[in-house]
Amino acid sequence: TSKITPFSLFLPFATKQSTEFFLGIIEVKAASHTNSSIYIQQRNCKMKFNTAFAALLVGSAAAFAPSTPTFTKKNTALFMSAEDGEVKPLRIGTRGSPLALAQAYETRERLIEQFPELSEEGALEICVMKTQGDMILDKSLMELGGKGLFTKELDTALLGDEVDICVHSMKDVPTWLPEGTVLPCNFPREDTNDAFIHKDGSVKSIGELPDGSVIGTASLRRQAQILAQNPTLKCVNFRGNVQTRLRKLDDGVVDATLLAIAGLKRMDMDGCATAVLDWDEMLPAVAQGAIGVQCRSDDERSLKYINALNHPETHACVNCERAFLEALDGNCKTPIAGQARIIDGKLVFKGLIAMPDGSLKYETEATGEVDDAVEIGRKAGEELKAEAGDKFFEMMVEMSPQQVLGQITK
């Protein structure tokens, strides 16, 4: 069963306890019940958090959700009255990582901007829950079962009417959705590229890394493209949230790591990046940089709200990429990358599949009308699958997680 926690429980300002918030980024220390001090700890040299943004987050729990919302009984389009007459807020389900919370907060702000009535007290509530992918960090995603690790608990809460909408990083969402749910909304997309982060900033790209360097990544897609460039490099399983990974990098666990620049930007941490890699050096994951909002297919109220937030261009590109992934029957055992963008009114797609060790790689490109986005992605996937042949995918199925990774967990 899913465990849902009101977001305000994470901000116990009126106690004498010390609490780490955002996993080491923000530390709140309350000196007394009447006089509290807030300290914003910044990572040395690289990890710079925008002070105004951080102050906004810790200065007001209500910026995310009230701990004990006060509802007034009214019968308007804003609220759906419960059977007992109590009004019901629009409940936003999210994971509890700093990035997930930033995305939930962005959803809240977009809703209020589009629907001013949602600024009323008690209109919105953010519900935080842990997923299997958040709780088990000492194993690779492939060993844990791949896709769905960061969404299953959210799906359960949604279908159980514990939340009304769920906010996702689209690259974590399986190509299939649970029956009774839809995902009709994507926000305008952030930069989709990967950021290269070196331990001291002296190396600016994967190609400049000395032979034998150690790169931390939990992504087979990244591993395959890294090893294709230099087989002497070593990739080690490197999981945890953004802050945890950067802390490991500072501690010298690895020489470099890669993260989605979109996530860093959403937390105002893109200054951590040594360089941003273009598609030729590192093709991003399917749906990387996109936020999606899911709801129950029969929930007219939620559909009204989130349909109004959809960005059609982003939605078309994401649907193209997900159709490509679905055609390949992609999972976390197969290194797959795919990106679409709209250029001069045309949808341009690029995709690849590879062996985990980078020894074999197949690539494809396609261009077409935006309205044909899903068909473009599906055909690209089918063509690449035919080119690689059955043997390629049979090898992937037969390989154990240890054979695929061939690395140690850090």
Q: Active-site positions? A: 172
Residues 6 or more apart in contact with residue 395 via CB below 8 angstroms:
355
Over its C-alpha atoms, the chain yields an Rg (Å, rounded) of: 22
Side chain identity, residue 46: K
Confirm if 286 and 353 have CB atoms less than 8 A apart: no
CB atoms within 10 A of CB 71: 15
Task: Check: CB of residue 202 under 8 Å from CB of residue 210.
Answer: no
Cα atoms in the 13 Å half-sphere on the side-chain side of 94: 27
Q: With residue 247 as reference, give the H or E element that holds it.
A: helix 242-250
* Token pair 């509802």 in the structure block, residue: 71
Q: Give me the amino acid identity at 90.
A: L
Alpha-carbon span 10 to 23, nearest angstrom: 11
Contact between 29 and 39 (Cβ < 8 Å) = yes
Distances (CA, A) of 298 to 28, 159, 179, 292, 302: 42, 11, 11, 18, 9
